[in-house]
Structure 1
Amino acid sequence: MAIAGYRRDIDGLRSIAIGSVVLYHAGFQVFSGGFVGVDIFFVISGFLITSGLLKDAAGDGISIARFYVRRIRRIVPAYLAVVLAALVVGAFLLLPSEYLALGRSALATSLFVANIHSWSETGYFSGSAISHPLLHMWSLAVEEQYYLIWPIVMMGFFGLQRRTGLSTAWLPRLIVVAIVLSLAASEVMLSYSAKTVFYMAPFRAWELLLGSLLASVRWPRLPGPWAAHAVGGLALALMVVPILLLTEASRFPGLSALAPCLGAVLILYRDERYPSFAAMLLSRRIPVFLGLISYSLYLWHWPVLSFYWFATRSDPSPGWALALVLLMLALATLSWRYIERPFRVSAVPHAAGSERHVLLLGAGGLAAAAIAAVAVLAGQGFPARLPPAAARVDALAREPYVSRHGCVLTDALPDDPARSCFAAADRLPGRKIVLWGDSFAGQHVNTIEGALDRPGRPVISVVATGCTPLAGVDQYFGKGRLDARCGQFNRAVFQELLRRPDIDSVIIAGRWSNLYGLPARKGTFDPTARFLMDADHRARNVRSSLDVMARSLDRMAGQLLDRGVAVTMLREPPRYAANVRDCVALALWRGQSVVSRCGMPEAEARAMREPVDAVFSRLHQRYNNLLIYDQITQLCPADYCLGYKNETLITRDTEHLTRAGSVIALGPLLKSARFSNFPAE
């Protein structure tokens, strides 16, 4: 069927966009920057939407109702099919807590605010992204938010033009201003919140507006075929190079997204007299077909990968990844053939009624999906699907860290921790015990304060999650970004410990092995790890980070011990391969062995933290009166670690302990002479 104004090369351009996204998500590392395919889609959408609106404006005028009827026919049927399919499949694969999260995501998706939901829930590049089957819907929400505003802006502009005689040349000028403002805002905001720039429409608007600008301007003709080929070659390079060279560690989006967006613009810009080799390549049968099914392929590809992960709780091997890509293509082809096309181009839906009827059908479908999502929320994820023991484990909520006298900081850090966290110490009489650390100290707040805090012997907890307690050290995220706030906070806390004469004991706990590119399992490295630097060590590598850690711990222990402070450092609990709560609940649900599926030998747990244990061993040799306490000894009886004992969850994720686990881990320490004989006033 011939479509007026149809360009095969645009579908070919879509094939580049969808191919890069799918292969990147499927784990083919050569396409490490494949996420830029979404940016290419944004440019295409801006171009096509604005071209259609300009055509309407030149005819009988822009009609908002007609615009949304077209959008509903194009977007909503396949969109709803994926949302409802995800809810159905999720009922068989997801734990109640996971199904509840899917319900929240499905509701946000039905309301076209999935980008806002994803921004509040998870990062696109975070390890937990795969556990969100509808995460990819954020980009469609950005487009829909653009569609909500842009037709009104265009209608307002042409209405003003009719009344005042305003030149049409002002439209591209205004678009250029908007592009500059949006791009500048995104580049500046990257320094404060990359996640906000990634997900929020105002910071992505410039990409759609680039396409709108191209549609609104009559561009000069090319001087000859050689120029067309040069432009086409440049366009392909601008897209392919970022797809191959950008990584999750890149500063993105912002200016890093400009090259692929300009590449898309150059493909969309053409001189019909001189078709470029790039346009001819993209107009061939396979790229065009991939472009035709690209919307359905985008909709289905991420749920396929996510539900594979839920079914296996592991990432696919290269062979499985290829099989999943073939499954995505099959689903996308069926979706395009039997859902997209009938509603978009068939005469049958058009005969069903007026524009109002189509709008009502679209709204009704979205409402039905929202109602289904609300049912999942109201049913709390339907825990009755599971055996009672499995449901109880899954229902264990994250236990809050609440300190009686100190501070437990989970978000912003105070400018003056001495005032914010030690204020109670000035009011309370007696010799103090201080618990200092990150979430690995936070998990013990309730246990330590419950056992040791009493009148005349208060416990002051100073906890900042994500800030491992090392003084005089700069912590860099694996992506190279300095975590300056943690460094400032730790320096201030340590100075306060040295300054105060009423502190007799300090317990220090942290996620030490996260600070040197933690070897996760089987030789791989944790991408969320941090690296350490100080004045003498500026290299970003494992050996240098371990040296910096050793120097900082040595300095802290030496200065505190010289002041007569009893120092206790806690080694980490075991780190499991998978979330223990989920593993145990799934094993109980599926009738599998909790011990074999969810535990590990003690030797494996110790091997993972061997480098940092060597640091602690040297510290202990240097300071005989420094107590270094090993939690693994208590948590791994009979040479085997298991985060579930006597129907009680001990480890709530991969390594953080529950309150019950904290009591088991620290029981001998808190009953030891070091604390039972602690002097009180």
Structure 2
Amino acid sequence: MRAIAVLMVLAVHASPSALPNGFVGVDVFFVISGYLITSILCQELAQDRFSVRDFYVRRINRIFPALLLVLGTCLAIAPWLLYPSERGMLSKSAFFSTVFAANVHFYLESGYWDVASKLKPLLHLWSLGVEEQFYLVWPLLLWGACRARKPLWTVCAGVLVLSFITNLELTASNQPAGFYLPFGRFWELAAGGLLACIAHDRHGPPPALQQRLGGALAWLGIGLLVASQCLPLPPDRFPGWWVLPVVLGTTLLIMAGPQAWLNRVVLAHPVMVYVGKLSYPLYLWHWPLLVAARLLGDGYWSSSHRNLMVVLALVLAALTHHGVERPLARRVAQRGRLALVLAALMAGLCLAAWWMPGSAEDRSLPSAGGPLHEYSKPQITSTGGVHLLGDSNAGHFFHGLSLLYGDRLVLTAAPGWPYLDGVQHSPTYVPLRNHQGSPQLTQEALQRIEAEPQLRAVILSTAYRMYLPLDNLRSIGGPVGETTAQAYENGLRRTAQRLVAQGKKVVIVKSVPIYPTLATVIACSDTFRPAWRRAPDDCTRPRHLVDAERQEYDALVQRAVQGLPGVLVHDTLADLCDERLCYVHRNGIQMYVDSGHFTTAGSQIMGASLARTVEQVLRD
């Protein structure tokens, strides 16, 4: 069964379109793990042989060797493959993986600033975090129940029910928490544990009955697993109820017993047994290799590169199993000393990951858009305050403008919130965890601006693609059937009118072009590319395509400001594009730090251009 699980995961990661739901192989792993480990615990508790020390020594000797090899290899080759920002993220995820908290790390990392999951080399270790967190408490729970003379199956059932309810609640309210955090995942391991306890206490069907039912149970179990691959699983509602058939199907396959035809002939076939033995190292190796193939192709891969990495994963898994795992497993007499050595090595790797060179961002690198000492700046002759208001597309102008306006400049910005008067999120939209904007936040900001008599100009800057394509805004008290584009336009006009009525000048900044297909925009700078990486194909975008995709937005802005005195529109395309192309790296300067935000140098150049418009509106 471990072969089925790992092959499902390998298939979905290597060819997502071929088996899009193969990720449920991880859930199959959870059930199998819970059954196997709990079976051992039940035997030891029944024979009064259980030892907390021995349990964790076995876990260390089983889990650490292959994990150390894979993590060490990833960190060692990082300088040749990864940019500094990517190395920073790798080292952070490696650090959390060494303390078996990768799932918590990736949960906290999910959201607005998240990197595409297909480019995170250690993302797959979230499941190992869940598993080891489970085994921190599971043997102690069973040991406590045994000491209290409570049936072990009642503990399993209790954990299963409580965790399953938590899974439903978390998935409904915060899907990433339901997916990554252990509280809603423990029930899957507890399901295997419950089956192990029942089998140990002989509460299951008699052997003769099980033999007659085994075939039906096995086919029903495999049928549920096949069904899970045929039905669409909504990613925003998984795990929730959708994982239940997978857990039930795996449980039925185990219940069927080794004498069921499917288990005896198919799952016990020597090839399947051998793949099962390789399952753990294969799971560890396959994802970093597939990510490496994508990184070498700047986010894309050819089928030949993908197939090569799959073969390499199988080869490395076999070498790890025969060259590392099996030789160490034979050192039974030295397992305590071996565990100490492995734990020390893991601690060393943990420290190495913590101190690994590489920054979380590439903003400060001179070759990647660091500060400019010489660039064209306007002459600032105006007086009074300037307020920069909007989402993160307001924030990335702040550095450049602050160099020109100093403490006259005030910033109010929040990720994913446009600060438009009378606008709220649509009722069906669930904002990302770090998107905390609200109409109250807008009113507080506008009231502060209105109450400041020395403040003369307000700059409104938002990323329109955060709103129009997502259909996530509505006017407060707006008409039925209103679209996000209409709410955005009406809110933009109301905001400008309100500010003009208070004697403020207004500059509306049109959104910058974005580059969502780039794996990392820093790759567009020739001077800081790792040895194994190539220049991406998408460092420029045809101007006519950019203009075409912005047609609705451009018309919307034009209508919103029509007839309003004291309002100017600043078009960012004039500085980021020419007649043919729009650029990430222009005139030897890295303008973007990610797909839609400026580097330090980009902020200086674009801030200077924006300041010219501000000075113009203040003169008019």
TM-score (norm 1): 0.76
In structure 2, relative to structure 1, the CA distance for the partners of 1:246 and 1:473 (3 Å cut) is: farther
Q: Report matched runs for 1:385-400 at 5 Å.
A: 392-393=366-367
Q: Is structure 2 residue 341 aligned with structure 1 residue 361?
A: yes
Q: Structure 1 residue 678: deviation in Å? A: 5.9
CA–CA distance in structure 1, aligned partners of residues 264 and 446 of structure 2: 65
Name the CA shift for 1:252/1:597 in 2 (closer, same or farther; >3 Å). Answer: closer
Counterpart-to-counterpart distance in 1, 2:266 and 2:508: 63
Secondary structure of the residue aligned to 2:96 is helix
> Tell me, which stretches of 5 or more residues in structure 2 are unaligned?
372-382
2:118 paired residue number = 130
| Equivalent AA in structure 2 for residue 49 of structure 1 | I
Give 3-state SS (helix, strand or coil) of 1:154's partner.
helix
**Who is 1:3 aligned against?**
none
Match of 1:408 in 2: none
- Given candidates 289, 295, 298, the residue that maps to 1:304 is 289
Q: Does structure 1 residue 572 correspond to structure 2 residue 511?
A: yes
Match of 1:627 in 2: 568
Q: Shift of residue 176 of structure 1?
A: 1.6
- The verdict on how the C-alpha distance between 1:595 and 1:154 changes in structure 2, with shifts beyond 3 A counting, is closer
1:61 counterpart SS class: coil
Q: Secondary structure at the match of 1:657?
A: coil
Contact persistence 1:476–1:482 (CA under 8 A): no
Aligned equivalent of 2:552: 611
Deviations 1:147-183 (A, max 9, x none): 232223333333x25xxxx25xx32112222222222
Q: Look up the SS of the partner of 2:388 in the other structure.
A: strand
Give deviations 1:383-425, integer Å, cap 9, x for gaps: xxxxxx996435959xxxxxxxxxxxxxxxxxxxxxxxxxxxx
User: 1:467 Cα shift?
Assistant: 1.3
SS at match of 1:354: helix
Structure 1 stretch displaced more, 584-593 or 282-291: 584-593
Q: 1:172-571, aligned counterparts within 5 Å?
A: 172-217=153-198, 218-221=203-206, 227-247=213-233, 249-270=235-256, 275=260, 277=262, 280-318=265-303, 320-344=305-329, 347=330, 349-350=331-332, 353-374=333-354, 377=355, 379-380=357-358, 392-393=366-367, 433-452=386-405, 459-475=409-425, 481=430, 485-489=436-440, 492-493=443-444, 496=447, 502=453, 505-517=457-469, 529=470, 531-533=472-474, 535-536=478-479, 544-558=483-497, 560-561=499-500, 565-571=504-510
**What does 1:113-192 align with in structure 2 at a 5 Å threshold?**
113-122=101-110, 127-158=115-146, 160-161=147-148, 166-167=149-150, 170-192=151-173
* Displacement after TM superposition at 1:448 (Å): 3.7
2:301 counterpart SS class:
coil
Tell me, yes or no, if the aligned pair for 1:33 and 1:248 is still in contact at 8 Å: no
Distance 1:23 1:551, change over 3 A: farther
Q: Secondary structure at the match of 1:655?
A: coil
Q: What amino acid is the match of 2:466?
A: N
SS at 1:575's partner residue? Answer: coil
For 1:674 and 1:151, the matched residues in 2 are separated by: 69
Q: 1:395 to 1:546 in 2, by over 3 A?
A: closer
Deviation string, structure 1 residues 340-380 (Cα, Å, up to 9, x no partner): 33333xx4x33xx4332222232233234335435xx2555
Determine if contact 1:236/1:278 at 8 Å carries over to the other structure. Answer: no
Using a 3 Å threshold, how does the CA distance of structure 1 residues 471 and 33 change in structure 2: closer, same or farther?
farther
| Correspondence list, 1:21-40, <5 A | 21-40=9-28
2:93/2:122 contact within 8 Å kept: yes
Inter-partner Cα distance in structure 2 for 1:630 and 1:493: 28
* Inter-partner Cα distance in structure 1 for 2:304 and 2:423: 44
Letter in 2 for 1:481: V
Change (3 A) 1:60 1:395: farther
Q: How far apart are residue 513 of structure 1 and its match?
A: 2.0
Provide the C-alpha distance between the structure 2 equivalents of 1:591 and 1:333, rounded to a whole number of angstroms. Answer: 26
The residue number in structure 2 matching 1:401 is none
Q: 2:7 is matched with which residue?
A: 19
- Corresponding residue for residue 53 of structure 1: 41
Change (3 A) 1:292 1:394: farther
Give per-residue Cα distances to partners, 1:532-573, cap 9 Å, x unaligned.
44554659xxxx443443343344445555666533211112
Give the SS at the match of 1:219. coil
Q: Deviations over 1:322-341 (max 9, x none)?
A: 44333323332332333333
CA distance, structure 1, for counterparts of residue 403 and residue 74 of structure 2 = 44
Residues 76-85 or 331-340, more deviating: 331-340
User: Hey, what's the Cα distance between the residues in 1 that align with 2:3 and 2:537?
Assistant: 44
Distance 1:191 1:561 in 2: 43
Say whether residues 1:660 and 2:597 are aligned partners. no
1:140–1:538 distance in 2 versus 1, CA, 3 Å? farther
Q: Distance in 1 between matches of 2:405 and 2:610?
A: 11
Give unpaired runs (5+ residues) of structure 1: 1-12, 382-388, 398-429, 518-528
Partner residue in 2 for 1:649 = 590
Stretch deviating more after TM superposition (460-469 or 632-641): 632-641
Structure 2 vs 1, CA of residues 485 and 471 (structure 1 numbering), >3 Å: closer, same or farther? Answer: farther
Cα deviation code 1:70-98 (max 9, x no counterpart): 32332222221111211222232122343
Kindly state the Cα deviation for residue 48 of structure 1 after the two structures are TM-superposed: 0.5
Preserved contact between residue 390 and residue 589 of structure 1 (Cα < 8 Å): no
* Shift in alpha-carbon separation, 1:313–1:235, aligned structure 2, 3 A: same
RMSD after superposition: 3.9
Determine the structure 1 residue equivalent to 2:611: 670
Aligned to 1:81: 69
Change (3 A) 1:367 1:173: same
Bigger mean CA deviation after superposition, 216-225 or 52-61: 216-225
Q: Is the 8 A contact 2:119 2:299 kept in 1?
A: no
- Match of 2:374? none
Indicate how the Cα distance of structure 1 residues 581 and 289 shifts in structure 2: closer, same or farther if over 3 A, else same.
same
Q: What is the percentage of aligned positions where both structures have the same residue? A: 29
Identify if the C-alpha distance between structure 1 residues 379 and 670 changes in structure 2 by more than 3 Å, giving closer, same or farther.
closer
SS in 2 for 1:316: coil
> 1:196 and 1:285 mapped to 2: Cα distance?
39
Amino acid at match of 2:550: R
Q: Is the 8 A contact 2:134 2:182 kept in 1?
A: yes
Instruction: Flag the 1:610–1:322 CA change in 2: closer, same or farther, 3 A.
Output: farther
When residues 54 and 593 of structure 1 are mapped into structure 2, their CA distance, relative to the original with a 3 A threshold, is: closer
Structure 1 residues 487, 211: CA separation in 2 closer, same or farther (over 3 Å shift)? Answer: same
Aligned length in residues: 596
| Aligned mates of 2:494, 2:264 — CA distance in 1 | 64
Check the 8 A contact 1:80/1:366 in 2, yes or no: yes
**Structure of greater relative contact order (alpha carbons < 8 Å, 6+ residues apart):** 2
Is the CA contact (8 Å cut-off) linking 2:90 and 2:120 kept in structure 1? Answer: yes
More deviation, 320-329/211-220: 320-329
What SS does the aligned partner of 2:204 have?
coil
Does structure 1 retain, via aligned residues, the 8 Å contact 2:296–2:532?
no
Kept in 2, the 8 Å contact 1:438–1:466? The answer is yes
SS state of the match for residue 653, structure 1? Answer: coil
